[in-house]
Amino acid sequence: METLIASSPSIDKQEIVDPSIHHDLESEDHTMEVEKQVTDVVVTEQKSQQEVSPPSIFNFRSPPFSISVLAQHKNPALIVFQSDEALVDWIRCIGKQHGFIIVIMGSEKCIKNRTPRMRFSCERSGKYRPYVKKVDGKEVAVKKRVRSTGTKKCECPFELKAVKGNDGWTVSVHNGTHNHPPAVYLEGHSYAGRLSAEQTSTVVDLSVALVKPREIRTHLKVQDPENVTSIKTVYNVRQKYRVIEKAGKSQMQHLLDRLEKYHYVHWTRGNETENVTELFWSPTSSFYR
């Protein structure tokens, strides 16, 4: 109240002696304070609703593919792919540039008397499907698993269609919208971090050469700057190779097999009970140094 009076140079604090005027000013201040509280409550409720409600499809109207691509599908001569591999690589590359992972939803390439075609969708399309066990082609009821994590599926409507003609593969956009924001970083992504056959072979070769996993990942990044493979994927490839290489053998059996394969010279010493007390292996190259 004192601030309001002091801000007006034409009103002196001592000149206000009428109690009715004082009561009117207090009631006006009380009304303004109540209105402000109501406004704050409404704004808070609106913010909470925005945070809880899922993102709407209309908030992300910009398709991950440019408008020129949307127009090119009307004229197949403008965009033609000679192979399905080139088609898939192009679609996934453009999707990654916009922060979306595009996967193959279905394909009909080996059906007689039918035009080869493929369908692509966002990895977050569809709904979560619980695990169902099948025995002899029939579904068997199993105990419901307790999920410790959420699902990435959010029924994303994005969809592309590709058809193979006489000249090659052509692409058309059936639905170019997403109902979720694009990914800012793809590092560690389960699908984007997959290794190709060539990259997997590189990881195996470097692992055999005793290169550390961290250095292997750096080497993959140098070869392909867009590679987003995590260090965990490199460890998984190494472990898978070791399991295949052992082929059910024990550690000792695997060691003896490797020594025999690379022509190591061995020598043993035992006692009277025929128990081996000492083992010795050496590569043949060490005898010629």
Mean pLDDT by 10 residues, the chain (289 residues): 41 45 52 58 48 36 40 50 86 85 85 84 84 75 70 87 86 86 80 85 89 90 85 89 80 79 75 72 69
- The pLDDT, as a whole number, for residue 37 is 59
User: Which residues 6+ apart lie within 8 Å of 47 measured at CB?
Assistant: none
The domain locations on the chain are 17-53, 60-128+151-175, 194-246, 251-289
Angle between helices 231-246 and 213-223 (to 10 degrees): 110
Distance CA 106, CA 127 (A): 16
Q: What is the pLDDT of residue 120?
A: 92
Helix then strand then coil, % of the chain, to nearest 5:
45, 15, 40
Residue 216, classified by CB atoms within 10 Å of its CB into exposed (0-12), middle (13-18) or buried (19+), is buried
| Per-residue model confidence (pLDDT) at position 44 | 52
How many Cα atoms occupy the beta-carbon half-sphere of 257 within 13 Å? 10
The string of DSSP codes covering 1-62 is -HHHHHH-TT--GGG---HHHHHHHHHHHHHHHHHHHHHHHHHHHHHHHHHHSPPPGGGG-S
Contact 126, 160 (CB under 8 A): no
Q: How many CB atoms lie within 10 A of CB 207?
A: 19
Continuous segment of H or E residues that includes residue 171: strand 169-175
CA gap 217, 23 in Å, rounded: 76
Q: Please tell me whether residue 260 adopts helix, strand or coil conformation.
A: helix
Q: Are strands 117-122 and 102-108 parallel, antiparallel or unpaired?
A: antiparallel
Q: Are 82 and 111 in contact (CB under 8 A)?
A: no
Element holding 108 (H helix, E strand): strand 102-108
Distance, in Å, from the CA atom of 38 to the CA atom of 30, rounded to the nearest integer, reads: 12
CA distance 18 to 224: 83
